[in-house]
Amino acid sequence: MGYPVTLIRGDGIGPEVAEAARIAVDATGVSLDWNIVDAGAVAIEKYGTPLPEPMFEAIRDTKIALKGPISTPSGYKFPVTIEICKQLNLFANLRPVQSIPGVKSYFQDIDLVILRDNTEDLYAGIEFERTSIEAADARTFLSKLSGQTIRDDAAIGVKPISVLGSRQIVEFALQYAQTHSRRKITVVHQANRMKFTDGLFLDVAREVAKSYPELAFEDQSVDNVCLQLMQKPQQYDLLVMSNLYGDILSSLGAGMMGGLGVAPSANIGDDYAVFEAVHGCAPKYAGQNKANPTALILSGALMLQHLGEQEAATKLQKAVQSVIHAQVVTCDLAASGVEPVGTREMAEAIAAAMV
C-alpha cells in the first residue's frame, strides 16, 4: 500500500506538467497511490466552480496533494490558491531558492529558504472599494480613532497581524530549520515603520526563538533584505516573514534561480499539505507538449521530503539537475543551438536518470 496522494490536474498546461511530475516522482521507487482529480476550467463546466467539493474531499482524504496550475476565473474574489489555503488552513508557504547548474541566472551557489505566512497581513482580503459605503464608514472611523486625515477618495485595506498567526509561522520556520539542517533564521519585517503590526510579529518571533538556542537568530528590515539578496544572498539560510513581504521576496527568489519555471513551492498546515508550481497555467501552450515541468517536479521532491522520503527526494533533485546539465530540456531552458524536447520527454529523461 503506497502513500495516498491527490494529483490535481489543473488547466492550461496543468494536465501536461502534472502528468510529467507523476512520471518523475513514480520513478523514484516510492510507492504512491494517486487520486487524480480535476480543477479549473474543466471543473467549472462540470460543477460551476474551479474548486469543486470533490477536489477538497480528495485532499482531506489523502492529506497530501500535488497541484498543477489552475486559472482564476474573471470575477472570482480570491486567486484559487489562496482559496485552497483558506479552506485547508495551509498557513505556511515554503519556497526554496537554490541554484540549478545549467539554468541561466545572474546568481550562483545560492541555497536558502523563504517561509511566508499565508493567512494574515494585507492579503487577508479585508478591503473596501473607495466609493463604497463601507469605505466611507471606515475612513470616518479610522480618522477619528487615529487623529489622521484620510482622503475622501481613498480605498481601505486592513493589515491584521495576530500573536497566534505570527507564532505559528515562526514556530514552523524554527522547526523546519531544525529538521532540514538550517542553522540561521532571519526574521524579515518593517517594524521601524509599523510598530504595532510588524512590531508584534518581531516581538513574537524573538520570544519563540528563545526555545531554539541552537539556531542563530537575526532580524532585518525588508528593504535591507532586498538589497542584501542582490549583493550577497549566500549570507542567508532561512528567512521567515508575513504574507506581503513573503509574496514579493519569494518571486524575487524565483527570479534569482532562473524564473518561475524552475521554482518549487509548498503550502503546509497542521493537517494537510499542497505542493505546487507557482507559475501560471499558460493556456496558449496547452496541449502542445512545450511546457517546462521542472517546477512541479521539484515540488514533487518537496512532497517526498514531507513524506519522510528524503533519499528519494534527493535522488529526484539530482536527476533534474543532471538532465538540465545535459540539456535534455524544454525550449525555455535550452541553450542556443540545442534542440529542445517536449514536456513528457523531459520528464521521461529525468525518470531514466534515476535508473
Say what the pLDDT of residue 122 is.
94
CB 59 within 8 A of CB 88: yes
pLDDT (mean) for 4-25: 97
pLDDT (mean) for 164-180: 98
77 has pLDDT over 80: no
Say what the pLDDT of residue 353 is.
98
pLDDT (mean) for 22-43: 96
pLDDT (mean) for 171-178: 98
Q: Cα(293)–Cα(320) distance, rounded to whole angstroms?
A: 10
1 has pLDDT over 90: no
Lowest mean pLDDT among 37-41, 52-56, 128-132, 235-239: 37-41
| Average pLDDT of every residue of the chain | 96
41 has pLDDT over 90: no
CB 173 within 8 A of CB 116: no
Q: How confident is the model over 222-279, as pLDDT tens digits?
A: 999 999 999 999 999 999 999 999 999 999 999 999 999 999 999 999 999 999 998 9
Say what the pLDDT of residue 79 is.
83
Q: How confident is the model over 98-114, as pLDDT tens digits?
A: 999 999 999 989 999 99
Say what the pLDDT of residue 118 is.
96
Say what the pLDDT of residue 164 is.
98
At 355, the pLDDT band (50, 70, 90 cuts) reads: confident
At 350, the pLDDT band (50, 70, 90 cuts) reads: very high
Say what the pLDDT of residue 75 is.
72
List the grid coordinates of 8: 490535481
Domains of the chain listed by start with CATH number: 1-95+260-355 (3.40.718.10), 106-120+161-257 (3.40.50.2300), 121-160 (no CATH)
CB burial string 264-291: b at 16+ within 10 A, e below: bbbbbbeebbbbbbbbebbeebbeeebb
CB 6 within 8 A of CB 64: yes
Angle CA(255)–CA(260)–CA(261) in degrees, nearest 5? 125
